[in-house]
Structure formats: C-alpha cells, structure tokens
Amino acid sequence: MTAEPWTIERICEALGSPTLTQRFLSEINRAPAPELLATFTRWERIAKNMLNADETDQQIIDHLQRGEEPPGEWLDGNARLAATANRARGAA
C-alpha cells in the first residue's frame, strides 16, 4: 500500500463500487461536524479492508494461474454445504 494520505477521493477509488461510494459520500456529507472525523475514519478503515481483500484475491489468482496451491490454510466446506442442503431438502 502506498503512503499517500487518505482523502475523500482516495476512499471513493478504493471502495471500488459505485454503490459503496455513493453511500460513503452520502454519509460524509450528512455527518454533523462533531461526527465528521469518526465517519471519515470508519470509511477509511473500510477502504483499507477493500484494498487488502483485492491484494489477497490477486495473490490467490496468481498462484492458481501458475498451478500452485494458494497461500494460507483453506477449509473444505463441501461436506458442510452438502449436509445443509440435505437438511433443507428434508425439510421441504
């Protein structure tokens, strides 16, 4: 991540979604002065999380494209999903 300061524009870019950007702009524009910094800080954290998720996604994609296992520990949820689906079918 860069050392650029966080601005309203940078948060909008980092959010990467027109819907999220619109929500952020709406909240920052309606926030009373005493709540402005808290609102900005909350959305800055959200934007940072979005950037981190994008970086992680890209690392996983890069590994898979090279035919490698993605980094980290992965849980196989297939059995849990199958059990949930079977219970749902039984209840229907």
Counted domains in the chain: 1
Q: What is the pLDDT of residue 22?
A: 97
pTM attached to this predicted model: 0.65
Task: Give me the phi and psi of 62, to 5 degrees please.
Answer: -60, -45
Q: What is the pLDDT of residue 3?
A: 78
* 3 in any annotated domain: no
* 71 in any annotated domain: yes
Q: What is the pLDDT of residue 92?
A: 58
* 68 in any annotated domain: yes
Across the 92 residues of the chain, what is the mean pLDDT of every consecutive 10-residue run?
85 94 97 97 95 81 83 77 87 62
Q: What is the pLDDT of residue 35?
A: 97
* 41 in any annotated domain: yes
For residue 68, give both structure tokens: 């490698």
Query: Burial level of 28, CB count in 10 A (0-12/13-18/19+)?
Result: middle
* 1 in any annotated domain: no
Domain that holds residue 19: 8-91
